Structure 1
Amino acid sequence: MKKVLFTGLCTVALFIGAQAQDTIPSASRIQRTVNYLASDKLKGRGTAEKGGVKASRWVAKAFRKLGLQPLVDGSYFQDFTFDRNSHKDIPSRNVIAFLDNGAARTIVIGAHYDHLGRAGLFDGKYPVGQIHNGADDNASGIAGLLELARYYTKNNTKEPFNFLFIAFGGEELGLQGSKYYTNHPVMPLDKMHFMLNMDMIGRYNPERGIGIGGFGSAKEWPEVFKGIQQDGIKFFTDAAGKGASDHHNFYMHQVPVLFFHTGGHDDYHKPTDDAHKLQAAAEEKIIKLEIQLINRAMTFPELHYTEVK
């Protein structure tokens, strides 16, 4: 009888341990995500290319597996078109999912899934026909988005804020997805606690550290950041809320922002930005740092937007 009870307790403990492990950000899972999104199969996830559409469907499927809600008429997709130079009515889409905690305010977590594809829409700026896999830019950010989505849906805690997870399309062609979303939000922007954006978080340089922009976009950020540290990760802050990534459009609509970026490198916007160069173990730690900041920010009932002069 005691042996059966002990065996049962061990089984329960192992199950709980496996659940906890499944929740924690994982370097191996990050690497698998990037391996797929930055594979030649997706041909660089170009906007208006088959690989970009496949990537959007894959992200939607991942959201569905996590049990997140679709918000656009029962769909995860917010479709839109835009013009760029001589190219008209270019189709793209955002992939949007919601974690409803019954709260009054919502935290937005975002990253763009598109990359240059085979560069056909860039008017010769990049080598046309070559696959630009975009492992760091921005398969790494989507990996971070999915790890945070997993953490907040599986941590057995009902947070005091809702979460809106958005994978943006058309970022490389002028922040088109976030521009469309902030002009056509599925939830009121004045009910957003803040927006956290990840763009190129997969090539950590320990000498530089990771930059966190938007530090000046909310009155409370200095207090939120007090005492925050993560083993193996150095970070520095930048006040700017504006920038060349999707947080910019939220900031312009008076939503406080944070922007995570590990910096430029020789493979930026080149066909050599491949998955094997990802530093997944460092990215795992960066996501753990983000969780600390998100959790600290949730101790404030509201963040107050400030304009960075």
Structure 2
Amino acid sequence: MKNYVLFLLLLLTTLTFGQTPSAKRISQHIRYLASDKMQGRGTGSPENAKAAHYVEKQFKKYGLTPLGTDRFYQPFTAKVRRIVVPDSLRKAANVIGFLNNDAAYTIVIGAHYDHLGLGRQGSSLDSLPQGKIHNGADDNASGVAGLLEMARYFSQNNVKEPYNFLFMAFGAEELGLQGSRYFLNNPTLPLERMNFMVCMDMIGRYNPERGVGIGGYGTSDAWPTVFKEVTSSIKFFTDRAGNGGSDNAAFYAKQIPVLFFHTGGHPDYHKPGDDPDKIDAQSEEAILQLEIRLLENAMRLAKMTFTSVK
């Protein structure tokens, strides 16, 4: 009987461990999303639609429930203010999957999947960007890989958490947070049912001297309790502000507490050199493990109260 119990415990541990974030899967996601074939995932491009389909396929694989307006998709029109040619409208979409744990409140985890395409939609920091593929491996294939690993973990860990999860891949972030703002103005889940939002944008270029920054620490009085005594194999630091950086700013504007994970700027930011071979997948795996520990701490608490950061 004792051996049988030990066997069950070992089996459960093995099954759970198999769902934890994996540097190998992270690399696979990034190498697909940031390959030259994806042409930089510019908003409105066929490759941007392929990236959305890739996220949808993973959400289906993990058994998430569609929570867009068209199955997993929430289509919208993005406005592109380009320097080279006049303004134009592009088709875009958020990709939304829901993990229903029959809870009263929901945790939102998000990352944007678009980038700068071939350098013609503005925002490139290259001196002559037009026609050059901006692969966006760190910005933000790394965040999408993190989103998919978090969806995999919480949907496959054989635990019914005390909160639901809403996993969102945002479109048109590079054009001014248009996807997240569109969702928040046209929510497919009531905003009052959202506990807090976690955003991952550029988490693939870990610098051990800097560490990973976690913004939004001041957006709820509960965050100090969540972070208390949390340790990690990587260096991390917190910042109080919640209204800058990425799609987290749109949620902060709606008075929803946020956390924003970011490994910092680098010389390839918004340039054609942001390629998959420069990603530190092992460190990203550790960042996601840290994120899981923080989420598990947060789920022990009641619904958070929003705090404005001066």
- TM-score, normalised relative to structure 2: 0.93
Matched, 1:181 2:183: yes
Q: Do the aligned partners of 1:202 and 1:282 also contact (CA within 8 Å) in 2? A: yes
Change (3 A) 1:286 1:305: same
Name the SS of the counterpart of 1:285 in structure 2.
Answer: helix
AA at the equivalent of 1:154: Q
AA at the equivalent of 2:56: A
Change (3 A) 1:129 1:103: same
The structure 1 residue matched to 2:41, chosen from 45, 51, 57, is 45
Name the SS of the counterpart of 2:121 in structure 1.
Answer: coil
Matched, 1:19 2:15: yes
Aligned to 1:248: 249
Name the SS of the counterpart of 1:95 in structure 2.
Answer: strand
The gaps in structure 1 that reach 5 residues or longer are 1-5
AA at the equivalent of 1:100: N
For residue 10 of structure 1, report the CA deviation from its aligned partner.
Answer: 11
Aligned to 2:59: 63
Change (3 A) 1:12 1:105: closer
Return the alpha-carbon distance in structure 2 between the equivalents of residues 11 and 302 of structure 1.
Answer: 37
Aligned to 1:3: none
Percent identity of the aligned residues? 55
For residue 22 of structure 1, report the CA deviation from its aligned partner.
Answer: 2.5
Deviations 1:189-212 (A, max 9, x none): 111110000000000000000100
For residue 273 of structure 1, report the CA deviation from its aligned partner.
Answer: 0.6
For residue 15 of structure 1, report the CA deviation from its aligned partner.
Answer: 6.2
For residue 229 of structure 1, report the CA deviation from its aligned partner.
Answer: 1.0
Aligned to 2:278: 277
The gaps in structure 2 that reach 5 residues or longer are none
Return the alpha-carbon distance in structure 2 between the equivalents of residues 221 and 10 of structure 1.
Answer: 37
Return the alpha-carbon distance in structure 2 between the equivalents of residues 240 and 52 of structure 1.
Answer: 30
Q: Do the aligned partners of 1:87 and 1:121 also contact (CA within 8 Å) in 2? A: no
Deviations 1:214-248 (A, max 9, x none): 001011111111101112x1111111010130000
Name the SS of the counterpart of 1:103 in structure 2.
Answer: coil
Name the SS of the counterpart of 1:44 in structure 2.
Answer: helix
Q: Do the aligned partners of 1:204 and 1:282 also contact (CA within 8 Å) in 2? A: yes
Aligned to 1:103: 103
Deviates more, 1:162-171 or 1:22-31: 22-31
- Within a 5 Å distance, the mapping from 1:109-148 to structure 2 comes to 109-122=109-122, 126=126, 127-148=129-150
Aligned to 2:87: 87
Q: Do the aligned partners of 1:109 and 1:166 also contact (CA within 8 Å) in 2? A: yes
Deviations 1:76-95 (A, max 9, x none): 00000032434232211000
Deviates more, 1:282-291 or 1:183-192: 183-192
For residue 14 of structure 1, report the CA deviation from its aligned partner.
Answer: 8.2
Change (3 A) 1:124 1:242: closer
- Within a 5 Å distance, the mapping from 1:283-302 to structure 2 comes to 283-302=284-303
Change (3 A) 1:128 1:293: same
For residue 125 of structure 1, report the CA deviation from its aligned partner.
Answer: 6.2
AA at the equivalent of 2:53: R
Return the alpha-carbon distance in structure 2 between the equivalents of residues 16 and 299 of structure 1.
Answer: 22
Q: Do the aligned partners of 1:213 and 1:260 also contact (CA within 8 Å) in 2? A: yes
Change (3 A) 1:226 1:172: same
Q: Do the aligned partners of 2:242 and 2:248 also contact (CA within 8 Å) in 1? A: yes
Return the alpha-carbon distance in structure 1 between the equivalents of residues 261 and 15 of structure 2.
Answer: 28
